[in-house]
Amino acid sequence: MAARSRGRVGRLVITVSGLHGTGKSTQAKRLAEAFGLRYFSAGVMFREMARERGLSLLEFTKMAEGDEEFDRLVDERTRVEAERGGVVLDGLLSGWMAGDLADLRIFLSAPDEARFRRIGRRDGLSLDEARRRTLERERRERERFMRFYKIDINDLTIYDLILNTELFPPEGTARILKKVVEEYLAAR
């Protein structure tokens, strides 16, 4: 790991990754706010590309399977944001894409049923529909990322911290993550 911030918050690059419904966007935004960093979401960019084409997220995910250009655009933007520094990067592949520019790579996890409940609440879906859509989307993403990048998203060895967000309320998770970043900066 490059540790390029050398204790300087303004240059810090934090990645927050995790499967869908683990709270990564919520926690990444909170970290950015807590430390005065910019926030970039690969997922928001991907959703915007889907919306621009009049497609649902699942439809766009299927379309992206045949054209890696969509993923490359998101990945290039993620890398540019990491190079600028002073950012929290939110995305499934953000830890991989930031590479050695990342100071801290965080992976958030949660049991599947908890993730499906959260997604259902957020998107106004039944639990069964949230489960079906999420599992299909994640299967497609896993296959696509392996084919395009040779990245196994189940390989968590690149992460500095793995935290199960189901164990704590969102505010508790935010406090834990803030403390981790504070300790990281103090050690530099």
Residue 32 and residue 150: Cα distance in Å, rounded?
30
List, for residues 159-170, the tens digit of each pLDDT value: 999 999 999 999
CB 37 within 8 A of CB 86: yes
Residue 109: strand pairing partners:
164
DSSP for 136-178, written as a single string = HHHHHHHHHHHHHH---TT--TT-SEEEEGGGS-HHHHHHHHH
CB 53 within 8 A of CB 60: yes
Residues contacting residue 66 through CB under 8 Å, at least 6 positions apart: none
70 falls in which pLDDT band (50, 70, 90)?
confident
Residue 186 and residue 188: Cα distance in Å, rounded?
5
Rg (alpha carbons) of the chain, rounded to whole number = 16
pLDDT of residue 1: 42
pLDDT of residue 46: 79
- Using alpha carbons only, give the angle 69, 19, 150 rounded to the nearest 5 degrees: 45
pLDDT (mean) for 47-69: 81
pLDDT of residue 2: 47
- Asked if pLDDT for residue 85 goes beyond 70, the answer is yes
List, for residues 99-138, the tens digit of each pLDDT value: 999 999 999 999 999 999 999 999 999 999 999 999 998 9
Taking the mean position of all CA atoms in its chain, how far away is CA 131? 19
- Mean pLDDT score across all residues of the chain: 91
Q: Which domains does the chain have, with CATH numbers?
A: 9-186 (3.40.50.300)
Residue 17: strand pairing partners:
107
7 falls in which pLDDT band (50, 70, 90)?
low
